[in-house]
Chains A and B, each alone.
Chain A
Amino acid sequence: DGGITQSPKYLFRKEGQNVTLSCEQNLNHDAMYWYRQDPGQGLRLIYYSQIVNDFQKGDIAEGYSVSREKKESFPLTVTSAQKNPTAFYLCATQGSGETQYFGPGTRLLVL
């Protein structure tokens, strides 16, 4: 079954804790993206990667980190430096046709 998986579906973070959101794809797409969506707001780009072992900051990268060691995987770490992490986090891939495909998302909540 092809597609994009994100886990967990819900994640709770304690103050001062780093948490990692998983994103895996088997679409063989080179580019992968992380977005944050706040209630009633649009998507804001956190980080993106257009090829393995390379990634770039998006518009709101502060307090986040990523890695791209494999084509299939693009995990996002929300660090303790991110003071307002509560949001819906979406991972997307992009193939050669420019269309983006999204995973089901992870909801991060702060305890």
Chain B
Amino acid sequence: RKEVEQDPGPFNVPEGATVAFNCTYSNSASQSFFWYRQDCRKEPKLLMSVYSSGNEDGRFTAQLNRASQYISLLIRDSKLSDSATYLCVVIPGGGSYIPTFGRGTSLIVHP
């Protein structure tokens, strides 16, 4: 079983739609979680951290479900500029700070 799994997509949605991605992780002791955005042929950039209490930043909401070992990213009112690959990142904890990256979920927002 892969440590961090994401549906590769692509998720193809119209402008204005709400879309949600999930990311599952296998290590129940994992302590920190992040969502990154990667545009085509560019480097990943931090989108948001995922806190136990959830995290909202404008149209983006991230949530953590420790019991089921997954994190989610919800994008409301999708814009064309949201088209990108969204990477899930998990820090294992237990003294290790080396992140594990998911393979990413591709989002395409069309007019």
Q: Chain A interface (Cβ within 8 Å of chain B)?
A: 31, 33, 40-43, 45, 48, 50, 88, 90, 94, 98-105
Contacts and interface: CB of A to CB of B under 8 A. Distances in A.
Main secondary structure, interface of A, reads strand
Interface string B40-67: 0111111001000000000000000000
Given A42-B87, A102-B44, 17 more contacts: A31-B97, A40-B8, A42-B104, A48-B98, A94-B97, A94-B99, A98-B97, A98-B99, A99-B34, A99-B46, A99-B49, A100-B46, A102-B43, A102-B45, A103-B43, A104-B42, A105-B42
Nearest to B101: A43
A48 to B, nearest CB: 7
Nearest to A50: B97
B89 A90 contact: no
